[in-house]
Structure formats: C-alpha cells, structure tokens
Amino acid sequence: MSYVCSPSYSITIRLEIENRIGMFAMIATAISSAGGDLGSVDIVRVEKGKIIRDITVNARDEDHEKAIVKAIKTVDGVKVLRSMDRTFFSHEGGKIEIKNKLPVRDRNDLSKVYTPGVARVCMDIHHHKEHAYRYTIKGNSVVIVSDGTAVLGLGDIGPEAALPVMEGKAMIFKEFAGIDAFPIVLATKDVDEIVNTVKNIAPAFGGINLEDISAPRCFAVEARLRKMLDIPVFHDDQHGTAVVVLAALINVSRLLKRALKKFKVVVVGAGAAGSATARILLASGVKDIIVCDKAGAVYQGRKQDMDPAKRNLAKVTNPRKVKGSIADAMKGADVFIGLSAPNIITPDDIRRMSKDPVVFALANPDPEIAPEEAHAVVRVMATGRSDYPNQINNMLGFPGIFRGLLDVRATGVNEAVKLAAAKAIAHTVGEEELHEDYIIPSIFDRKVAASVAAAVAETARKTGLARH
C-alpha cells in the first residue's frame, strides 16, 4: 500500500454536473474528505442545465481510487459517467515505436536504403565486420532482455507481464541518452536457452542489458554471456542498482565528512541487487559489510538457505562474524541498505544503530520502512520512490553507462567503469547543494547521463575496453 497520493494511481473521472452554484465546491470537498489529491479540471462540454467535466485525482492505491469515486457519487446532482486509470491509459497500445530516420519518397530513395544499393553496404560489412557499427543501428542500440522472473517487487510474473517494464526502460534509454533500445522477453527460464538466444541475437546490438532475471540464475547468465560476447553485458538489477547506491553513499560520506571505509553497513537482500551492492561497496573501500536475507546475517559456516552465490558472498563480507536476525545485524551499524521486502524494520531497529543513522529503504513499490515512520530517528533517508526526497533509481546510471560504452564501442564492462559511473553521479551534486534531503541528483537532471557517459568512456579507454 502507498502512504501518499501518487501519479501512479491517477484517475480521470468524467462527471455530469447540474449547472448550479456551489456544485464544484461540494465535489472538491468530497474528494478531499476521501483523501484524494485534486489535480486538473477540464470542461468537456456544456449542455442545457448540465456541465460535463473531466477531473483528475491522485490516489494512494487502487482501493483508494474506488473510495474517491464512491465519495463523489454521494454528491447530490452529480453523475459519474466513467472513471479512467491514467496509468493504464498511458500504456494503451504500448509506449514505444520504430520511426524511419530517412524518408522513402520515390525509387531513388528506395534504391539507396534498400535494393539494389543496400547490397554494396552488406558486402562491405561482410569484409569488414566492424563497419556494422558505422552503417547499421548496432553502434547505437541495446537489447533489453528479461525472462520475467524478478519483475520489480512483483516476482515471477512471466515474460508478457514483464514487457511494460522493458518498454519503459527503452523509453528512458531514448529520452536520456538517445539510445535505441529493444525490449525482448523470453518464454524460458532455462539458463542455457537464455544464453544461447541472447548470443544468437547479439550481432545486431552494441550492448546487452539483462533485466529482471531472478537470482541465482542471473549470475550464471551474465557470467557466461560476458565470456562469449565482445560487447558489454550489464545486468542492471545488479550493477545499475549498485552504482547508484554507491553514488548516494559517496554523498553521505561527503555530507557527514566521514570516509567510506569507516562505515559499518548492513545490506538486507542477498539476491542480485544486494550481492552486487555489497561487492561494489567493498571495491570502493568499505570494510565492514553484513549481508542479510530472510534467515538473518549471512556468514561463513551458516547452513540454512545457503547457495553457492551466498557462500561466495560470505567469504568477503561480515568480518566480525555477526550472527542472528536483521535487527541483530543492525545494532551499531551506520548504514542500512534495504533491497528486499516492505515493512521489515522498525523505528526501534533504527534507534539501535549508531549516531546519525543512514537508511536506504529501496524495496519497490513499498519500502522496508515507511519514511513517515523513520523520519524522526534517521539522519538521512532514501527510498526508490519518486514521491519522497532522495530517490535512488537505476535510471540515474544505465542511460549514461551505456551511452559511454557505445561511444567507444566497448568490448565489455569492468569494475573501474562502474566505480567511475558512481563517482560521476555523486559529483553532479555540488557541495553547496548537498544536504540530508539531496544526496542524489534528480532523475530528471540532464547533466547526469552526459557526466556518466564521459566518465565511462574515459575509463573504458584507460582500461583497454575501447575499440576507438
């Protein structure tokens, strides 16, 4: 359940209203009494004795949407003609399309872009495969691949249900980095089939963005594809999340004037995002990291619910060998990073942390603790949501990361690239701007993608990933 009204639950209600004084005031009162957030009001048409209006209202969730409509229906002289969920309407017919860059107006145009002229370009690429970057979409294209097994906080909902997320990601690639991204959802959970499918379609693309593939299979898929392919393979749920979390923590370090290596960090969630976050924090100099899952702290020798990925993680984290529950792990910690499930910690858990506790509650759509509950006991609070300050969101990372990799025709991704991206995101926020409610730039700050792209491209060149 959402805690505040959000555009994610926005409805447009068409009303037939008796044309007499005071009617709109009564409607507005009904919406307010139901807890709705009144937005735009438009006149559709005026009829004899009646006005037809479209009223947009933000709600907290679907039940709240229904409650608002019900409240409006109680107003005498008002008839609800229809109610439309604006989120569903925005997805109607899909959210992306393909457009031609060149017109095809006549035979001359056709002869250049298709037959017979295209044959010459085909043969040039046949003799010089690298020319595909120049003469096709390959140099500016990414494929977004998912099997629908770990979609948002919804879990295994299948490839078709994952497609709206992949389309949305493609929109972000285009809007913020000018990259043509293609959503591909696969009707298989078999690692071999996923790997072979991606390998076989890879020639058309300059990069592979793996998305919403559940752990631990995602680790195997990514590792195998990286060995097979000569283009970047990037599992955004892992590395995109990790990059942006590190960026936020770098700025917490700047704000509190405390070195990263001195932070005691608890990461809750030992899946793709949690594992990658722990590893990038280690690479950035953080020494004391405890990773937790549903069974509590992960440590060497633990028997319960341990797979190979967790056993490897246990070897490099939890240096104090802390055992017990999430609450036990949080005692004395400086930073809590939640990449797990809603409502799993309490204000009392935070009170047992160190002075000036930092809480990144990043479960979506509902965080590990509601900001309203944590506000009084935290120094810095961040979520994955857009309706609170400090939104830690992957879109601060992946557009610029892929832009930089494509610009140099990179052969892969390495740790140095990810660290460079995190630092670039962090330092988009100037010293004079930095405060508790602004530790991470806005996802709409157009400087971010450009800054990240430049840092990634430079690092790729320095570390031998660049083709040019």
CB 411 within 8 A of CB 468: no
Q: From CA 155, how far away is CA 10, in angstroms rounded?
A: 24
Q: Return the active site residues.
A: 114, 169
Gyration radius of the chain's alpha carbons: 25
CB 451 within 8 A of CB 397: no
CB 17 within 8 A of CB 27: yes
CB 148 within 8 A of CB 217: no
Both structure tokens of 458 = 């430079």
Closest listed residue to residue 417, CA positions, set 205, 202, 219, 207: 207
Q: From CA 468, how far away is CA 461, in angstroms rounded?
A: 8
Which ranges of 74-216 does DSSP label H, i.e. alpha helix? 86-90, 107-113, 118-127, 132-135, 159-177, 191-201
CB 355 within 8 A of CB 335: no
Q: From CA 109, how far away is CA 388, in angstroms rounded?
A: 51
Cβ-defined contacts of 164-169 (< 8 Å, 24+): 164/91, 164/95, 165/211, 165/212, 166/211, 166/212, 167/91, 167/94, 167/95, 167/96, 168/95, 169/144, 169/209, 169/211, 169/236, 169/398
Largest CA distance in the chain: 79
Closest listed residue to residue 278, CA positions, set 324, 241, 321: 241
